[in-house]
A and B are shown apart, each in its own frame.
Chain A
Amino acid sequence: MTDSKRGDDAKQAWRRRYDTEVAKVERETGSGASEERQPLYDREDLVANSDEESDIGYPGEYPFTRGPYSSMYRGKLWTMRQFSGFGTAADTNKRYKFLLERGQTGLSVAFDLPTLMGYDSDDPLAEGEVGYCGVAISSLADMELLFDDIPLERVSTSMTINSPAAILLAFYLAVAEKQGVPMSKLRGTLQNDILKEYIAQKEYLFPPAPSMRLVVDTMSFCQKSVPKWHAVSISGYQIREKGSTAVQELAFTLADGFAYVEAAIHAGMKVDDFAPQLSFFFDAHNDFFEEIAKFRAARRIWARHMRERFGAKDPKSWLLRFHTQTAGVSLMAQQPENNIVRVAYQALAGVLGGTQSLHTNAMDETLALPTAKSAKIALRTQQILAYETGVAEVIDPLGGSYFVEAITKKMEDGAEAYFKKIDELGGVIPAIEKGFFQREIEKASYDFQREMDAKKRIIVGVNGFVEDKPEPIEILKIDESVEQEQRKRLRHLREHRDRAAVKRSLDAVRQAARDGSNVMPSLLDAARAYATLGEIVKVFKQEFGEYLEPATF
């Protein structure tokens, strides 16, 4: 009897035992994934789904399925980067120092909604929203306070900002200049991913074409002047949080990435000059192995497209490096302490998937911004993972797993099928304009809700294991005085700055917006002159127009 014959017999025998056993029980399932998964994976699935050399390979080697670096966490642990910001710049500065003193290794700025939408804190439309979802930054003066006593050559800073990203980058560069830190030494990331705003998060201001131009301007400026800065963080996080599936998150994010590459090449940049400065940002959701497979597939797809399709020669251009945030949308208001456990599993998936940096959500973020205590527990969750569990010692420990390799391939195939569909629609921007992504995601999120309501998916404490009596936890309250204080500061600024210099600098921004030259130098001058975010955005709106999407559901 041959080995494979013996193997077939053993498998059939197992299948008979399995079928008999499952026929006897009716299991309440939880994850919603049981229909698309086999109960068991074996060597056959591995062989069918991956070639050991060309699909799996070694870490630090094309196609990077096993990791972008040869030494991974043995060389350097992931960066523990907690997204944080609330109230005034001074409040947030205090929280940053609190986190840095407790071992956090990178900063990540959360801006409030007026800032994200390009409004100053004293704009009538900002009322009630100042300092709530993040920190209020209306000018260089606020940015100076935000990083007061934090030497920018020693931290890396991520800024989650999109439509007005170029302006906030200019504020940051101006702070560095005041601290005497050369731009060449600055490390950090600008989210600056406008495409996923049209697709998912909806914080857009201008129409797609001028928005893409602003992205390319920052890419080109950073390539020349801020070489250690990631000019764009191509983000799947918001797509997933909006309700997409894992495959959609993967596919839409990488499609956005390709669109930026195409736009930069179209603007005359060489792929190997800018591609190493691109980075990515993904969600770590509940379906543990699927998430790990998603991260592994993302690296492989990106490497293949960059080398084969865009002809990148520099291996750094092939690398997909990413930040991970645990899934905010998976946090539940019911029995909120359970969220600590959800976050820990999701963080583990991010690490087993080879993330370069990680944000772990705080348990109370489903109710409000985190308290100092819950923020600390979230950070400690990462430290326990890094220092106690041993998972950082072995690179890609799930590589070669029958199951993980099979779903990694499934993720890749699913994404490729979407790329084809997007191409047929004429590319990412036409697909946005036709509402393609939006519809796909809306359908997925409605399906998810219906599965929950039908208890095909069990969420602990919500539609299973429910407790009648809520046990309230302490939450952070944003003081209403934040808005008053911000207004006062802005009034003071507007009265005491050099008005002629502000006007000159805004005229120069308008000129650059009009004549197509890179906007960054004029934005830097405007920052130095203490022109406000709202004033600069107003100029852009006048020059570029505003974007509106149809209201559908």
Chain B
Amino acid sequence: MKKKIRVLVCKPGLDGHDRGAKVIAAALRDAGMEVVYTGLRQTPEMIARAAVQEDVDVIGLSIHSGAHMTLFPRVLDLLKQAGATQILLTGGGIIPEDDMAALRKIGVGELFGPGTPMDKIVEYIRAEVPKRRTVGA
């Protein structure tokens, strides 16, 4: 039997607006994934460490503060350093299209803005994880 998809949902930075993070955590759980929610105010170091320790397939960062251009690259770097590049780094929040494109270019996955249906995120993760599992294994 296939292993369940494991997702780490995180709120990095100083922002406490966790509505999106909690809704997506609940939606992924209801879609049959195993979800770990970090809670508020996680540093990139804490996130990368938790991702490796929890052996997750996916990290989802929820950022509404404008700090996405600092936080996504930092987490990505730390994952590389830990040799955990098979982990899909995705997320969402208040992120302008240009920035989404720039982040995709450096290896961040799809990013989702306000109004995204939960199904779309679930489908994306389901499609993406198997590719990465084969690469990682």
Contacts and interface: CB of A to CB of B under 8 A. Distances in A.
Interface of A: 113-114, 116-117, 119, 125-129, 132-133, 197, 201-204, 241-243, 329, 331-334, 366-369, 442, 445-446, 449-450, 452-453, 459, 461-463, 470, 472, 475, 478, 549-553
B16 A553 contact: no
Contacts of B37: 551-553
Nearest to A477: B96
Interface in B11-30: 13-19, 21-23, 25-27, 29
B14 A114 contact: yes
B16 A452 contact: no
Contact of B117 (A126, A242, A463): A463
Nearest to B113: A333
A472 B16 CA distance: 28
A551 B39 contact: yes
B119 A128 contact: no
A126 B70 CA distance: 11
Given A129-B66, A551-B37, 12 more contacts: A113-B67, A125-B14, A202-B18, A242-B17, A242-B19, A333-B113, A367-B96, A368-B66, A442-B23, A445-B22, A462-B115, A470-B97
B78 to A, nearest CB: 15
Given A128-B70, A551-B40, A553-B22, A133 B114 contact: no
24 contacts: A114-B14, A126-B14, A129-B13, A129-B65, A129-B66, A129-B67, A132-B67, A133-B65, A197-B16, A242-B17, A242-B19, A243-B19, A243-B23, A332-B115, A368-B94, A442-B23, A445-B19, A445-B22, A453-B119, A461-B115, A463-B117, A472-B97, A553-B9, A553-B22
B52 interface: no
Contacts of A463: 115, 117
Do most interface residues of chain A lie in helix, strand or loop, or is the interface mixed? loop
Name the 8 nearest CB pairs between A and B, nearest first.
A202-B16, A128-B70, A551-B39, A132-B66, A462-B115, A128-B67, A553-B25, A113-B14
Contacts of B38: 551
Nearest to B117: A453
Name the residue among B23, B66, B97, B118 with the largest chain A CB count within 10 angstroms.
Answer: B66
Q: How big is the B interface, by class?
A: 35 or more
B35 interface: yes
A453 B117 CA distance: 6
A397 to B, nearest CB: 33
Contacts of B69: 128
A260 to B, nearest CB: 21
B21 to A, nearest CB: 8
A496 B1 CA distance: 67
Contacts of A472: 97
A113 B39 contact: no
Contacts of B94: 366-368
Nearest to A335: B115
Contact of A446 (B18, B23, B65, B117): B23
B39 A550 contact: yes
Contacts of A552: 37
B84 interface: no
B102 to A, nearest CB: 12
Nearest to A133: B65
Name the residue among B21, B23, B114, B118 with the largest chain A CB count within 10 angstroms.
Answer: B114
A133 B118 contact: no
Contacts of B35: 553
B14 A116 contact: yes
Nearest to B73: A128
Given A129-B13, A552-B37, A113 B19 contact: no
Given A475-B96, A550-B39, A553-B26, A333 B115 contact: yes
B71 interface: yes
Given A128-B69, A201-B16, A368-B96, A333 B114 contact: yes
Given A132-B66, A472-B97, A203 B114 contact: no
Contacts of A119: 14
A540 to B, nearest CB: 17
A334 B115 contact: yes
A431 to B, nearest CB: 19
B72 to A, nearest CB: 10
Nearest to B25: A553
A127 B12 CA distance: 12
Contacts of A461: 115
Contacts of B96: 367-368, 475
A552 to B, nearest CB: 7
Given A113-B13, A202-B16, A449 B118 contact: yes
A117 B113 CA distance: 25
Given A114-B14, A117-B14, A445-B23, A452 B114 contact: no
B107 to A, nearest CB: 19
Contacts of A549: 39-40
B122 to A, nearest CB: 10
Given A367-B94, A551-B39, A452 B13 contact: no
A369 B96 CA distance: 11
A65 B67 CA distance: 43
B16 A203 contact: yes
Contacts of A329: 19
